[in-house]
Structure formats: structure tokens, C-alpha cells
């Protein structure tokens, strides 16, 4: 499983995190109510770092 940050192509701000797990890709919005984003934050809190945005 990998995480990569995603910047909005129109405004350039961080708008989400892309998770890749095998053939399944998830676009996770920056939203603390979202369970996938909560898991991402836990992953970061464990000392991991997402790949930088393009």
C-alpha cells in the first residue's frame, strides 16, 4: 500500500491523498470525518511519509 499527496490542478492546493493497494486506487479527500483519511493520519502518526505530489 502506498500513499501519494495530490494537489488540485486548478488551484494548486493539497486536495487529497491517493492510496494505491494493488489494482484499487482511492482518492481520499482532506476531511477528518472520512474514515480513510483518519487511517491515513494514523499511518503518518506511525512515522510514515506519503510520496510528494506531482
Partner 1 sequence: MALTLHGTVADNTAVLSRPNAQPLIINGDMQVTQRATSKTGITGTTMEVQDRFSDVMGGAGTWTQTSDTDVPTGQGFTKSMKWDCTTAKASLDAGSVFSVRYIFEGQDVQLLKYGSSSAEKLTLSFWIKSPKTGTHILSFYQYDDARHVSKAYTISSANTYQKVVCSIPGDTTGVIDNDNGAGLGVEIALAAGSNYTEGTLATAWAAYNDANQFVGQVNCADSTDNNIFITGVQLEVGEFDANSIAPFQHESFGDSLSRCQRYLYDPLRGSASFGVLALGACLSTTICRAVLSAPAEMRTRPTIVTSGNLEVAGDNFSPAVTSTAVGVRTGTQAMEVQFNVGSGLTSGEVAIVRRDNNDTAQFRLDAEL
Q: Which residues lie near partner 1 (CB under 8 A)?
A: 6, 8-10, 15-16, 18, 20, 23-29, 31, 33-37
Compare residues 39 and 48 and give the one whose CB is closer to partner 1: 39
Closest CA to 49 of 3, 17, 1, 16: 3
What residue ranges in the chain does DSSP mark as E strands?
2-7, 14-21, 24-29
Least gap, CB of 30 to partner 1 (angstroms): 9
Least gap, CB of 38 to partner 1 (angstroms): 10
Secondary-structure breakdown of the chain: helix, strand, coil percentages, each rounded to the nearest 5: 20, 40, 40
Compare residues 27 and 48 and give the one whose CB is closer to partner 1: 27
Amino acid at each position: 500500500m502506498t500513499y501519494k499527496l495530490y494537489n488540485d490542478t486548478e488551484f494548486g492546493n493539497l486536495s487529497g491523498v491517493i492510496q494505491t493497494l494493488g489494482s484499487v486506487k482511492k482518492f481520499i479527500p482532506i476531511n477528518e470525518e472520512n474514515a480513510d483519511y483518519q487511517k491515513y493520519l494514523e499511518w503518518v502518526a506511525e512515522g510514515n511519509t506519503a510520496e510528494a505530489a506531482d
